[in-house]
Structure 1
């Protein structure tokens, strides 16, 4: 036997071994492992089986260390099986599949122990992540930073997964940005969770991908079928297959050889050659022939992949059978189904697995274990060891305070801070990459882009500039640019932020990604934002303008619930500064926070787990406020970053606190000034981050429960300066729930003001009055909080 043939045989054996391991892993979790509750553990035996051949070809032969793969969520078990074979997953984790601390239900780069490049789980996002990671790889290479060969950014998707609209948004962006080195493998098993998919989807996929500049490769027939087509009568058989509906093909696959024979003879009739082709095969041979699709033929897959000799994006449409090699192959209910114990026993015998040896790496394989071990040790995918890179931290210089001689908005301040960074070259500014979904000019990025330029792999002329036509935008496009301008699709923005925010781990080169968008449209991209945070990507998102303060734009552009997203989103530190000096120290801290990767040890001072690092969300406004004249000392800077400080310290007899966040500072200050005529010890609490105050409070509470009785959070320290009998009026241009929890910290009474309903067009004064967040409303809330006692002062007009 030739060495090449021996290697092919070994890989075919390992394909079957991985199929057994994935099937057994799920069966063990559901039917053997003791349960502590009545929930079905679940798993996807059929979805893993349809990818058995592709996973063998990729992980056993094709993938190089620099390639990155987003594995179809429902193929998690067979992915883990291959990592187990390659020595990157443990038996303990497989035995605990979908258990606490075990191999995850869907591949997770943060929760799994094995080599997961991209988390998947919200279907469709893996494909988009591959697109934008390829774009980030090109960006790094264009800067001359990449020290490694370019890899292929690969996504494995189920055909039903392509119903997700975000995939087509990503394809459009890839087309605009000359996408390269991106491969999608579509597992065309023609089944979804609930049903068999509609016929001729392959033609739709072919048309869409071709129009986007992708090469489309269809692998429909395996070598057995191709050989049968060459026989007399083979053309009729091929024509029948091409015209067969997905439902009939799936039903016959499940029913087996006798059903295939009956259907084929009935449909094709007595046609001599084709009848002989059918009758010359036993039922088992006929079933094997009719399910010998291209996606289950290793030789065809290997040859097809090897034939790709360019870096253009490629879409491989792999015809497969859902549940291939398992008793319920083809059955329309097999997505969440599992083979029973009797069927498992038959499968065990077919794979020659001895009872008690189900987890053994090479159990049941026909060749010596040493040959399989030697084969796996030389697999290219693991040739360079760890594939998750690190990058040095970039020094963060002190940001120059923005000169505020006149009223200024936080959006303007954000733009000025970035513009100052762009004026000179520094390690930090060189690594900042900005991006926006067609709103760079209206979200504060114009100055940065004018200085840094737009990124393009090849220079693009600015005809307006070249013709001497005056324009505020000097957007030269070249490989030297540091801004990626996206189309109007927030899902794309957050997916690109996620890809760029993983550049240090994927490509060994650190980026500081900053994305801007209108605050209400965070909700349009929330799935991708959550996806980016789940992967521990590191980025800054500046959302502006925000709230009903964007008054003339109307209710569709006025955000309400985004502060709650900032509080609830894991991996994202949320800030809403009122003043530009606050923003300056928050942004300086954020540049460092993005780069941290320490242990989960809480700081005793505030109980925030800041050493782990994370991403940052800045909620900014276009409303200009008079800026305070002050110098921020170390203590105040620390308080600002930790979430809040006393703008007006409460006196010893304080019975009322006004706590505000963000742009309503002016209303809170005005109301406090008037109320101070009657309540001289009134305190004004400036909350720069309700998220971090809340997180510290919960962390300290957990610490006390775990035996640290003296643990005290920053918000507890602040509110301890006020009697528990004091009242708190909270005000925010967002949902009042964002601050109403303050009353639970030490038990003070809270009257929360905020926005609970859609806005409309109008002036700021009109809308503030209508939604009861103006100074007069704060004063009325203060009266009610003081047991209804009228304040002895005039209303604010």
Structure 2
């Protein structure tokens, strides 16, 4: 079908008949619906329940998208395509993968059980059959846009072949997911980058968890997608409806369907043929042709007609997919019925509803699946079994080539470039290292890609971007330079550029990092993405950050400036809880260096960690703009190792010491001054610099859990070794420009009392002297805490 899709297209071709291939696809669709529904039923009604909890699943949400997914996986997909499946369609995806030989009966029988098929698609737990995890609604759809941007980035640099057809990044989206604001942030930002080869297929069943959606939603959807340059294809009517529309009274039926509110249509779907007849007679009492038309259908046929929406018509879907005219992003608004083919269909409470045993027995009978053959691949199938098997075999070959890819490791230098200075900040040092890498070139520099939500310059990426350029599909020179207007920034945009500039949307930053960090797995070529943002705004995109880590995407997050050291900026730009986020976020290792020479050591370890397939992950650097006097030293191998393990003695204590100061990050000058003040009174005092509260804490906790089962191998954690010189009754003062709980746990390692200093309320404007005094983290208060901290106070 040829379609002009610059404007909205309502898919409305007349059906031209079935063929053997289509009939076989319809049989497979029925089998997929059965397997998905049975998997949920088995988990809730037949599998032993040891804790009495409802297992759950979404039989209705699965039924609404079964036709779409069968058409996609069994007919449309190619090996280079990647798919994000809406969370509540997980059982459908597992059923399809089971037919394709990628999923096991044991995993299906263990759906939502420990070690079984996951409740929502998970690329880390379900394996290489899953391209994108989609547990958090809205994010799975949006990440496909950034995956397309990543593919463009790789192709324009000839890292992957630009001669071969690109893959389509496809999202299967529930209509209620379009309520999520991150969807529209992603559409806007990726529109700026002119992304290509993206499909969003919307399961427009017009029901969310709490009830039907607004009947005008489809108009708003179409307008928004068209506004950002997408093709919009509305797949509303199935072949039976289109055939009925061609009969006398058919145009009236079509108008009635179009004007019927979503909630009424859903209710009639649930009630059945008698309700359809009654409602149409009430609405159109004088329309003889329409009334005669519906009287010509028996009850079963009328119910089939009224539920034969485009998203449940295999022929209509296949033709709609074939109608896409170009590589511009395309959305399909596929009208469906929630719970299609089940006793629950159309009911507003069906979102988390489950068929009872009697209902399911009737459903099983209608599917012709004998008892004992529920997990059979072919029980209940009719028609040409050889054609069915051939379709599944062909689709299996596609899926075999679409699994997770293996990418080579990027070659790293023995040491990252570093220039010593008397005074520096960790943020400034980070920028200089990247700038020096850009000038030196090489494999590492070639595979680094940076991205930032409109804070490129203020996070010290300016030098890198000046040298490497902004990424864009088309070349666009900096107008200021072209017109000889002096500027420190050279904003040349071109296909070889290595910085992806985003708008002010932290969700997009983390989704972009997720996609770039999965480049090796998705496309077979590794990138080392670095994203920068202001530290306090991690919280604004935290859901997307968690999502990126759950994917096991690999990236470096540089969050700067941080803490109340951003003194005049005030509380809105001062981070407090981010050290705790760094400690608590799985898949993300956090660091907070104090001195410039620690930064290249940590970054070097991070680039290797990002490429460790088994033990690696992403990295978060909490940096500061505060200029510190730098220690006059050359780091030895032992100190470098301690830095990446999480901490080292800046001044080691004497054995049996009674007090130590433990600090992290840019509060170093206050800790040093307090240490100097206390040294005369407490000669054996020590000063411990913590570069990673995360690594110290989690290594210790992992060992503690191993000790519970006697599997620690006699090992000790780094923090245990660091604190070994302390007397059993020693006192520890901890201080951090962040929440004090980030270091307060140190006392629990060997049973020492702790005086934790830090920030546990919103920041405010001021200079460092006033703020450090107000929040009791100045050298005066560190010294006071050390002097006053006594067992009697605790008693």
TM-score bracket, shorter-length normalisation = over 0.9
SS of equivalent to 2:190: helix
The alpha carbon displacement at 1:6 in A equals 1.4
Q: Distance in 2 between matches of 1:149 and 1:304?
A: 20
Contact 1:261 1:283 in 2 (8 A): no
After superposition, the Cα gap between the structure-2 partners of 1:514 and 1:84, relative to the gap in structure 1 and judged at 3 Å, is: same
Mean CA deviation greater in 193-202 or 140-149: 140-149
Picking from 210, 226, 236, the partner of 1:210 is 226
Picking from 77, 92, 112, the partner of 1:98 is 112
Q: Distance in 1 between matches of 2:474 and 2:28?
A: 44
- Structure 2 counterparts to residues 402-441 of structure 1, below 5 A: 402-441=418-457
Q: Distance in 2 between matches of 1:448 and 1:89?
A: 45
The alpha carbon displacement at 1:380 in A equals 6.9
Partner of 1:120: 134
Q: Distance in 1 between matches of 2:249 and 2:17?
A: 36
Partner of 1:624: 627
Q: Distance in 2 between matches of 1:765 and 1:156?
A: 54
Contact 1:432 1:511 in 2 (8 A): yes
Picking from 526, 537, 554, the partner of 1:510 is 526
Contact 1:645 1:687 in 2 (8 A): yes
Picking from 363, 378, 382, the partner of 2:379 is 363
Contact 1:124 1:167 in 2 (8 A): yes
The alpha carbon displacement at 1:368 in A equals 5.8
- Structure 2 counterparts to residues 597-608 of structure 1, below 5 A: 597-598=613-614
Picking from 745, 756, 762, the partner of 1:758 is 762
Partner of 2:785: 781
SS of equivalent to 2:423: coil
- Structure 2 counterparts to residues 245-256 of structure 1, below 5 A: 245-256=261-272
The alpha carbon displacement at 1:690 in A equals 0.3
Residue 393 (1) aligns with residue 409 (2): yes
Residue 68 (1) aligns with residue 82 (2): yes
Residue 578 (1) aligns with residue 582 (2): no
Q: Distance in 2 between matches of 1:67 and 1:276?
A: 47
CA-to-aligned-CA distance 1:33-70 (integer Å, 9 cap, x gap): 00110110000000000001101100100011111111
Contact 2:233 2:330 in 1 (8 A): yes
The alpha carbon displacement at 1:494 in A equals 0.4
Partner of 1:749: 753
Picking from 243, 248, 259, the partner of 1:243 is 259
The alpha carbon displacement at 1:86 in A equals 0.6
Partner of 1:527: 543
After superposition, the Cα gap between the structure-2 partners of 1:381 and 1:457, relative to the gap in structure 1 and judged at 3 Å, is: farther
Q: Distance in 1 between matches of 2:249 and 2:386?
A: 45
Partner of 1:667: 670
Q: Distance in 2 between matches of 1:245 and 1:514?
A: 48
Q: Distance in 2 between matches of 1:383 and 1:769?
A: 62
The alpha carbon displacement at 1:467 in A equals 1.2
The alpha carbon displacement at 1:787 in A equals 5.0
Picking from 597, 604, 626, the partner of 1:588 is 604
Contact 2:536 2:562 in 1 (8 A): yes
Residue 716 (1) aligns with residue 720 (2): yes
SS of equivalent to 2:620: strand
- Structure 2 counterparts to residues 128-139 of structure 1, below 5 A: 128-139=142-153
Picking from 731, 735, 741, the partner of 2:735 is 731
Partner of 1:154: 170
Q: Distance in 1 between matches of 2:310 and 2:757?
A: 62
SS of equivalent to 1:51: helix
Partner of 1:601: none
The alpha carbon displacement at 1:444 in A equals 1.0
SS of equivalent to 1:724: strand
After superposition, the Cα gap between the structure-2 partners of 1:381 and 1:306, relative to the gap in structure 1 and judged at 3 Å, is: farther
- Structure 2 counterparts to residues 452-531 of structure 1, below 5 A: 452-531=468-547
Q: Distance in 1 between matches of 2:128 and 2:656?
A: 59
Give structure 1 regions of 4+ aligned residues with deviation exceeding 6 angstroms: none
Return 5+ residue gaps in structure 1 as ranges.
Answer: 599-611, 790-797
CA-to-aligned-CA distance 1:104-140 (integer Å, 9 cap, x gap): 0000000114600000011000111000000000000
CA-to-aligned-CA distance 1:283-340 (integer Å, 9 cap, x gap): 1111110111000001011011111131000010000000000011000000000111
Contact 2:657 2:725 in 1 (8 A): no
The alpha carbon displacement at 1:3 in A equals 13
Partner of 2:197: 181
Q: Distance in 1 between matches of 2:559 and 2:749?
A: 29
Residue 652 (1) aligns with residue 668 (2): no
SS of equivalent to 2:202: strand
Partner of 1:277: 293
SS of equivalent to 2:159: coil
Q: Distance in 1 between matches of 2:306 and 2:656?
A: 86
Picking from 686, 701, 704, the partner of 2:689 is 686
CA-to-aligned-CA distance 1:584-625 (integer Å, 9 cap, x gap): 100011011100013xxxxxxxxxxxxx10000000000000
Mean CA deviation greater in 65-74 or 719-728: 719-728
Return 5+ residue gaps in structure 2 as ranges.
Answer: 1-15
CA-to-aligned-CA distance 1:478-516 (integer Å, 9 cap, x gap): 011100110000000000000000000000110000000
The alpha carbon displacement at 1:406 in A equals 2.6
Q: Distance in 2 between matches of 1:370 and 1:316?
A: 31
Q: Distance in 1 between matches of 2:401 and 2:525?
A: 18
The normalised TM-score by structure 1 is: 0.96
Q: Distance in 2 between matches of 1:104 and 1:189?
A: 24
Partner of 2:31: 17
Partner of 2:348: 332
Mean CA deviation greater in 214-223 or 267-276: 267-276
Residue 141 (1) aligns with residue 155 (2): yes
Picking from 677, 680, 692, the partner of 1:677 is 680
The alpha carbon displacement at 1:149 in A equals 3.5
After superposition, the Cα gap between the structure-2 partners of 1:3 and 1:259, relative to the gap in structure 1 and judged at 3 Å, is: closer
Q: Distance in 2 between matches of 1:420 and 1:163?
A: 44
SS of equivalent to 1:573: strand
Contact 1:49 1:323 in 2 (8 A): yes
The alpha carbon displacement at 1:385 in A equals 3.5
Q: Distance in 2 between matches of 1:529 and 1:736?
A: 23
Residue 43 (1) aligns with residue 46 (2): no
Q: Distance in 2 between matches of 1:10 and 1:370?
A: 9
The alpha carbon displacement at 1:783 in A equals 1.2
